[in-house]
């Protein structure tokens, strides 16, 4: 079974659901992909200008007429200023790092602008991510926009919305875009048991048997001898001294390691989530571990690169 697709995006609000967003690795904001409408405050401002104009006409007073014309002129100037605050801004997809399903993910975006831009807001509305508000300086800058995915695998964050009402708040200028670079999403972290394939157990038992066969004295304690243990473990010195029959109990000089594997009693997705939590925990230390998923085997290792390799295998695992 391949990784399940991302959950369906919620229905967009008007007028976004009438707009077909552009996709691709980058977006240059311009006249063809920017949309602008008055805000509620803008409509109230325009209504106030109309009322002043009617009062000036009916009352024969130049004061209200002058205020009405000035307000209308400022309204029209704000239309261009708000659009110019976004026009010419270039957005590019960065290289997303992996993250866990059900947790906040950081999607990198590279911004390029020739001038400073104020009050810019960005959000992945399809995933219900938080709004990122920033001032874009002239030059290049990399930002991270938060989103989340309930499913593992290579997922795209969906529709991104960028907008601004600066500088006067009379107009709402926006654009929509679907970044094409996918982000790797690891299985959700759930605590639970995992299976361990004893790759090193056979070798450890063989080494212990060889030490016992050669009469090694590297033992930790004595216990009553059982016939099925044979004579290799028998403590001959204690037998000669006291006549009691005791067996030597050996300890391996190094801890035994194994390959982590999905727990056989857990459903497939839950087993992967439990493995994800265990690998994330082991990845915080220097303990060596490996992974076995069907025919795929990742040998023992440690470190961040090894952890990311194991988590990537979980994210793309097929049943």
Mark residue 223 as left, alpha or beta (left: phi above 0; alpha: psi -120 to 50; beta: remaining): beta
Q: Are residues 267 and 164 in the same domain?
A: no
Q: Are residues 231 and 283 in the same domain?
A: no
Q: Are residues 167 and 59 in the same domain?
A: yes
Residue 208 exposure: Cα atoms within 13 Å on the Cβ side: 18
Total number of residues shown for the chain: 319
Q: Are residues 167 and 49 in the same domain?
A: yes
Q: Which residues contact 296 (CB under 8 A, 6 or more apart)?
A: 313, 317
**For residue 191, is it within any domain?**
no
- Residues 119 and 164: their CA atoms lie apart, in Å, by 6
The arithmetic mean of pLDDT across residues 191-197, rounded, is 89
* Model confidence pLDDT, tens digit, residues 275-284: 999 999 998 8
Q: Are residues 280 and 240 in the same domain?
A: no
Q: Are residues 171 and 133 in the same domain?
A: yes
91 SS3 class: strand
Determine contact, residues 55/2, Cβ cutoff 8 Å. no
For residue 89, what pLDDT is reported? 97
**For residue 209, is it within any domain?**
no
Cα Rg for the chain, rounded, in angstroms? 34
- β pairing state of 26-28 and 153-155: unpaired
Last residue of a domain, one of 191, 225, 249: 249
Last residue of a domain, one of 249, 268, 292: 249
Determine contact, residues 196/169, Cβ cutoff 8 Å. no
Q: Are residues 111 and 222 in the same domain?
A: no
Reply yes or no on whether the pLDDT at 126 is more than 80. no
DSSP assignment letter at 21: -
pLDDT category of residue 59 using cuts at 50, 70 and 90: confident
DSSP assignment letter at 69: H
**For residue 298, is it within any domain?**
yes
Q: Which of 130-144, 154-168, 223-237, 304-318 has the lowest mean pLDDT?
A: 223-237
Q: Are residues 47 and 123 in the same domain?
A: yes
The count of domains in the chain is 3
128 is in which domain, residue-wise? 1-183
Q: Are residues 129 and 233 in the same domain?
A: no
Name the pTM for this structure: 0.73
Backbone angles phi, psi at 90, to 5 degrees: -110, 135
**For residue 146, is it within any domain?**
yes
Q: Are residues 43 and 161 in the same domain?
A: yes
For residue 79, what pLDDT is reported? 95
Q: Are residues 242 and 262 in the same domain?
A: no
Q: Are residues 113 and 235 in the same domain?
A: no
Distances (CA, A) of 43 to 38, 70, 166, 194: 6, 16, 16, 61
Sign of CA dihedral 264, 268, 273, 279: positive
**For residue 208, is it within any domain?**
no
């Amino acid at each position: 079974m391949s990784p399940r697709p991302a959950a369906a995006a919620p229905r967009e609000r008007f007028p976004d659901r009438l707009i077909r967003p552009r996709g691709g690795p980058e977006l240059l904001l311009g006249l063809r992909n920017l949309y602008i409408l008055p805000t509620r405050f803008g409509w109230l401002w325009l209504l106030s200008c109309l009322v002043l104009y009617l009062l000036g006409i009916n009352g024969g007073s130049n004061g209200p007429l002058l205020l009405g014309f000035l307000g209308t002129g400022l309204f029209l100037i704000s239309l261009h200023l708000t659009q110019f605050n976004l026009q010419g801004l270039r957005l590019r997809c960065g290289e997303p790092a992996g993250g866990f399903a059900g947790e906040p993910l950081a999607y990198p975006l590279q911004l390029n602008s020739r001038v400073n831009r104020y009050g810019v807001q960005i959000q992945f509305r399809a995933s219900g991510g938080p709004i990122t508000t920033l001032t874009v300086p002239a030059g290049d800058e990399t930002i991270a926009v938060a989103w989340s995915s309930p499913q593992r695998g290579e997922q795209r964050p969906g529709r991104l919305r960028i907008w601004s009402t600066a500088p006067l708040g009379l107009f709402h200028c926006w654009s929509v875009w679907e970044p094409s670079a996918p982000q790797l999403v690891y299985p959700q972290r759930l605590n639970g048991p995992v299976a361990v394939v004893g790759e090193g157990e056979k070798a450890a038992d063989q080494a212990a048997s060889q030490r016992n066969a050669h009469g090694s004295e590297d033992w930790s304690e004595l216990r009553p001898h059982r016939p099925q243990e044979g004579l290799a473990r028998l403590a001959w010195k204690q037998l000669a001294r006291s006549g009691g029959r005791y067996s030597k109990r050996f300890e391996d000089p190094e801890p035994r390691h194994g390959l982590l594997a999905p727990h056989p009693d857990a459903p497939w997705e839950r087993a992967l989530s439990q493995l994800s939590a265990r690998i994330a925990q082991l990845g915080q230390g220097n303990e060596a571990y490996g992974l076995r998923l069907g025919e795929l085997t990742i040998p023992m290792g440690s470190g961040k690169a090894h952890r990311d390799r194991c988590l990537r295998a979980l994210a793309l695992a097929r049943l």
